[in-house]
Amino acid sequence: MNVTREVILDLLPVYLAGEASADTRALVDEYVKRDAALGREIREKMMENLAAIAPPSLPPELELKTLRRTRSLLGRQRWLLAMAMFFTLIPLSSGQFSREGGPPQTFLLARDYPQLAALSLAIALGLWVGYYLSRRRLRTVL
């Protein structure tokens, strides 16, 4: 079987990636022994590729710090959501009481205490903004 230079060049990416079968590696190695110019070219390309794809040196604790930071952000986000829902629902809360032995009456907090309801909604708005920003921050982090 006559193997041409084009066939070897087609097989070269698989060979350089280390994903070629043993027969393919043997075929490429045999051809490179016969064609010294291609061998030099392959070695030069390998050195260029290795320099280009060399991973940057990262601190050894980077993954652990990233995991802790993400967990912290997720925990903060959970609390912000819970508190935002709580303060949003406070004005809608109701209660029953009876005056002087009369029938029980139901009332909404927003109707009887509008200042407290407004304060609760203002706090809820701040918490919802914080929740939105934490979601956005996590989206960019991940």
Cβ atoms of 97 and 105 within 8 Å: the answer is yes
pTM attached to this predicted model: 0.53
φ/ψ of residue 61, rounded to 5: -95, 10
% of residues, the chain, pLDDT over 90: 27
Three-state secondary-structure class, residue 21: coil
Token pair for 141: 């982090």
Three-state secondary-structure class, residue 95: strand
pLDDT tens track for 98-127: 777 778 777 888 888 889 999 999 999 999
pLDDT band at 131 (very low <50, low <70, confident <90, very high): very high
